[in-house]
A and B are shown apart, each in its own frame.
Chain A
Amino acid sequence: MIRASADSFTGDAMPRASAAGKLRVENLGVAFQREGATLPVLDDVNLSVRDGEFVCLLGPSGCGKSTLLNAMAGFLQPTSGQVLVDGEVVRGPDPRRIFVFQERGVFPWLTVAGNIGFGLGKLSREERAKRVQHYVQMVGLQGFEKSYPHELSGGMKQRVEVARALAVNPDVLFLDEPFGALDSITRMVMRSELLRIWEAERKTILFVTHDIDEAVQLADRVVVISARPGRIQQIVDVDLQHPRDISSPRYLKLRDGILSQIGLAHRI
């Protein structure tokens, strides 16, 4: 039942469609060993993501969505199954696929420019400075190039991390609740900034969140994950054009559909 619903959306059942996938997760299972007991975290996850697609992984805390993202990025070896990018099995982290942590990943010992240029060691000095300046502008941090992270707000640090990731020109971005630590107004701003950047650069984005609104506002598809062990419960196509009207009936219908799918009533 679960497999069937996942397959019907991803088209995994048809080899032609899966071959076109940028990133594929095949029968992925992850189990942790805790005090001698085996704790299954993810069970038989199958997913295919198209090139340039924006996919949100949505689920309650502890459902294994971060674990799934870490396995896709190569930080974690799956217990069973595999992850493929461009048909190649993922065996570790790779600069072609950058993981954006919450703003915690910014290096405190480097300036904004130093952080953004971190992955550009192979370029010449001028080339690097040009690239850094381009992404400083893209995330709107002009004038802060020489600032250290502790002088920046949470939202600005998050911009630094996104810029650092984009600067190495990756195919895929993994974002693990990137705006979770920000206040709600900054979060809204960062969402539209991210969409603007995504529309300009067309990276494949996998975005973990526990915020239903965030998922429906951002994603082409929302992958709803159930808890313990984490399984794909449903994949929802968000057939809304950007910029999205978040009070339109279609938006609300999609959001409410996911709400009830997760088992939450519409009232508090």
Chain B
Amino acid sequence: MARTSIEDRLADLSEWAAPTFRPAELAEVARRARRGRTRRRALVTAAIAVLACLPAVVFAVLAAGRNNTQPIIEPTSPPVSSAPAVTTFRVTLPGEPVSKHPPSLSFVDRQHVWMLDGSCPDAQTCRIRLLATADGGRTWRQAGYPQIPGGGGGAIVTFLDANTIVVYIPHLAIWLSTDGGQTYTRHEFKQAPLLARLADNGAFALKCPNLTGYGQAQDGGVADCDRQQLVKTGVGPTEHQPPWRGPDAHIDEIGRDGRLWLVDGTRIAYSPDEGKTWHQVPEKSGKLRLSASGEQVGLWAADGELYRLSGDRWVMERRPPGWKLERMQGVLLDDGSWLMSDYDSAGYLIDGVYSPIPEVGAKATPVKQLADGTLVLSHFDSATGRPGFFMGTGQGRARQWTLVIY
């Protein structure tokens, strides 16, 4: 093997290993899928049987232990509607579809959503259809997209709000629109406005100094650094810097209460005043989950468990026995419950009890929570073959659900 660089060694390993793997026959795949479905159905049946017997068992236990005092049974969680009404909108999008795949969606808030429908058969011939809605998906308008020399392959498009679009083309330039895609201005990486160079998902981020905003060394920025800076999108570095700024530190999420959360390995701290002061909470490794209000703080821990910050300690969430979180996603709601979803179902988890939402969960992908608290789940309507999304407005588990199919 004459190759010596790491890239070449890895490429060599890949070339050698690929033909050594032999996928099972398709019939075997189908058989295993059937077996899995049968097992899941059996588990569901058993669970239903247990639930059906539960009242009788409880009654028998209460009857056996009855004395002069009436038992007080407190519900472990507030009642949840198991089949909420869903208002469905079937919409027709302007323009001709570009990609055979469903377009990608970027949600600004409950009203404003961007839809990007793109196809790049090769890097020189990209076709893009950009759409926007200002009424939660009921009506859509076609927005402009910049003319990019060379086709525009490899674009990274960031929607900062209902009007601001940043189109970043690696090795080329940045295009910025501040009028909802009507007009665009082109900027070289180093001369681009901070608004575009620091474009990120949140209002604050930790970035290496002098970066273009995307950390590509080829674009003239510093690709890596030992000490990052806290920057405010569109403004620049903040006057006060956080205590941990190493290469692994990052701002995880920003709750609506304005607190910034700083995570560095297992260390977690928050700032209530845009970075002037920082307060450390107990160490724990994982992904932070904040409710929309920011008051509820959860953690999807590295050990695969869910935790909630209670006072000055992390308390493990109870969950149904045998319940596996590995392929689920979830968000923490303002009432302390979790909305959990995988590709088959969605439901609320509270006090160790999981309550499915059958109408919303079917064919739904993992959930997102917008800054205004709105819940969003992608959807695929298998009857018509059309994609869509569920949107749940309201607070906690008291939600009004709409389904937009396009």
Instruction: Tell whether A pairs with B.
Output: no
Question: Chain B: residues with CB nearer than 8 A to chain A?
Answer: none
